[in-house]
């Protein structure tokens, strides 16, 4: 009772990274709150879910298995969560800020009248004082998220209603195995008791999901290009550099919008969050929304022809110069000095 619940997103039997990241966060919050971590898998053919999630510290895994529950549709998954949450009364419920989590979360929160904060970038535990009535609420979930296009950061709380619900984007939280031998308990729920037949009103008649080709999140070195790269052709310089040193190529939104790079490479508030060992920002000015997605990199090198570019303030090395000139030299001197 009053545990932390994480909704698992599952595609072809594989639990999504974003869910594993939330389990990692959920595990540490559960530790702090001295409660259990629950995971909920709703879908079809779920026999392989337990070994995927138990290492992340799941204490109780709920399984609702039925052919009609995959692929995801809104109403049946909503019904399971609404009833299960009414029974289990979790204090916190987390899901990915993905097209599934952002379809499901609001519906569940509306049915339960519990607040939901979208796209949190940080989750913490803390107290809240309601000044007007002088009430103090202990151990609430601080749902921290950027607002107003990233120009401010707001901390949101849900003092009176449960569960406290939040969605988080992929890559924002770290994914870390808790204990590879950890085993939790499995509870199978009968779909009949949770989903009325009338929920199956929307049918998926065609579906093409692509596996992501790039893995910028997992790469120890990220070379990112911005609008200052000037063209898609110039981005080849970055791909070349990346293949030489074993890196992945990222991009700013301005570069993506200009068509220099594909959307899945976008880093920042509305793209992925990366925290590599080394981040090389090439022709990126360093607006708040971009920095939000890379500021935790261990080392940052900024290459920009403007000595006053904002990115320079957070960089360990500032190279003032043109990308067209600097990057070929980096490749050249890397090749000369390595081995």
Partner 1 sequence: MGLQIVVLAKQVPDTRNVGKDAMKADGTVNRAALPAIFNPEDLNALEQALRLKDKHEGSTVTILTMGPGRAAEIIRESLYRGADNGFLLTDRAFAGSDTLATSYAISCAIKNFPKVDLIICGRQAIDGDTAQVGPQVAQKLGLPQITYAEEILDLKKDVITVKRRLEKGVEVVEGKLPMVVTVNGSAPDCRPRNAKMVMKFKHAKTVSEKQEGNQDYTELFDTHPYLNITEWSVNDIKSDADWLGLKGSPTKVKTIESVVFQTKESKKLTADDFDIESLMRELIANHTIG
CA-nearest of 127, 326, 106, 143 to 225 is 326
By C-beta, is 33 or 245 nearer to partner 1? 245
d(CA 68, CA 79): 13
- When binding is defined by CB under 8 A, the residue of 133, 181, 197, 210 that contacts partner 1 is 210
- Supply the minimum distance, in Å, between the C-beta of residue 85 and ligand FAD: 31
Q: Of 283, 251, 284, which Cα lies nearest the Cα of 270?
A: 251
Binding pattern for the stretch 302-331 against ligand FAD, x by CB under 6 A and - elsewhere: -xxxx--x------------xxx-------
Q: Does 227 bind partner 1 (CB under 8 A)?
A: no
Closest CB to ligand FAD among residues 24, 266: 266
- The residue within the footprint of ligand FAD, chosen from 289, 295, 314, 318 (CB under 6 A), is 289
CB of 98 to ligand FAD, least distance (A): 16
- The rounded distance, in Å, linking the Cα atoms of 237 and 139 is 50
Cβ 230 vs Cβ 263: under 8 Å: no
Among 12, 190, 306, 325, binds partner 1 (CB under 8 A): 325
Among 28, 109, 121, 266, contact with ligand FAD (rule: CB under 6 A)? 266
Work out whether the CA dihedral 91, 180, 101, 258 comes out positive or negative.
positive
- Judged by CB under 6 A, the chain residues 98 through 137 that form the site for ligand FAD are none
Q: Which residues pair with 223 in a beta bridge?
A: 249, 280
Assess 258 for contact with partner 1 (CB under 8 A).
no
Going by their DSSP bridges, the two strands 10-11 and 14-15 should be labelled as antiparallel
Neighbours of 289 (CB within 10 A): 17
Q: Which of 52, 98, 285, 297 binds ligand FAD (CB under 6 A)?
A: 285
Stretch that binds partner 1, among 60-68, 171-179, 207-215, 226-234 (CB under 8 A): 207-215
Interface pick for partner 1 out of 109, 219, 266, 273 (rule CB under 8 A): 109
Site for ligand FAD in 162-191 (CB under 6 A): none
Report the 10 Å Cβ neighbour count for 214: 15
Choose among ligand FAD, partner 1, none what residue 148 binds, the Cβ cut-off being 5 to 8 Å by kind.
partner 1
> Which range binds partner 1 by CB under 8 A, 20-28, 47-55, 159-167, 177-185?
159-167
CA–CA gap between residue 300 and residue 161 (Å, rounded) = 42
Determine phi and psi for 49, rounding to 5 degrees. -75, -45
Considering only 158, 283, 300, 330, the residue that binds ligand FAD (CB under 6 A) is: 283
122 exposed, middle or buried (CB, 10 Å; 0-12, 13-18, 19+)? middle
CB 44 within 8 A of CB 66: yes
Locus of tokens 């080849």: 236
Of residues 217, 143, 141, the one with CA closest to residue 175: 217
Q: Least distance in Å: CB of 108 to partner 1?
A: 8
Q: What does 206 bind: ligand FAD, partner 1, none (CB cut-off 5 to 8 Å by kind)?
A: partner 1
Contacting partner 1 (CB under 8 A), which of 128, 178, 227, 239? 128
What is the DSSP pairing of strand 164-168 with strand 92-96? Answer: parallel
Which stretch in 21-29, 62-70, 116-124, 175-183 sits in contact with partner 1 by CB under 8 A?
A: 116-124
**Is 308 an interacting residue with respect to partner 1 (CB under 8 A)?**
no
């Amino acid at each position: 009772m009053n545990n932390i619940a994480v909704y698992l997103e599952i595609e072809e039997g594989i639990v999504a990274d974003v869910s594993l990241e939330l389990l990692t966060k959920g595990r540490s919050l559960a530790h702090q709150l001295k409660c259990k971590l629950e995971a909920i898998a709703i879908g079809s053919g779920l026999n392989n879910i337990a070994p995927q999630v138990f290492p992340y510290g799941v204490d109780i895994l709920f399984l609702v298995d039925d052919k009609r529950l995959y692929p995801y549709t809104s109403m049946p998954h909503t019904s399971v969560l609404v009833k299960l949450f009414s029974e289990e009364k979790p204090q916190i419920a987390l899901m990915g800020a993905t097209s599934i989590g952002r379809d499901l979360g609001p519906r569940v929160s509306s049915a339960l009248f519990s607040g939901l904060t979208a796209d949190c970038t940080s989750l913490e535990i803390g107290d809240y004082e309601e000044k007007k009535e002088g009430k103090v609420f202990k151990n609430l979930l601080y749902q921290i998220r950027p607002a107003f296009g990233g120009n401010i950061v707001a901390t949101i709380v849900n003092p009176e209603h449960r569960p406290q619900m939040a969605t988080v984007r992929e890559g924002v939280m770290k994914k870390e195995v808790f204990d590879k031998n950890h085993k939790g308990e499995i509870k199978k729920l009968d779909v009949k008791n949770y989903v009325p037949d009338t929920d199956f009103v929307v049918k998926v008649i065609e579906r093409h999901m692509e596996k992501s080709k790039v893995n910028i999140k997992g790469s120890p070195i990220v070379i990112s290009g911005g609008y200052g790269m000037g063209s898609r052709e110039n981005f080849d310089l970055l791909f070349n550099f990346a293949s030489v040193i074993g890196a992945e190529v990222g991009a700013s939104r301005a570069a993506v919008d200009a068509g220099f790079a594909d959307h899945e490479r976008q880093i920042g508030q509305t793209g992925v969050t990366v925290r590599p060992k080394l981040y090389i920002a090439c022709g990126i000015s360093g607006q708040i929304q971009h920095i939000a997605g890379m500021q935790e990199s261990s080392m940052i090198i900024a290459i920009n022809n403007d000595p006053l570019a904002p990115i320079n303030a957070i960089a360990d090395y500032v190279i003032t110069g043109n990308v067209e000139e600097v990057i070929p030299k980096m490749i050249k001197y890397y090749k000369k000095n390595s081995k």
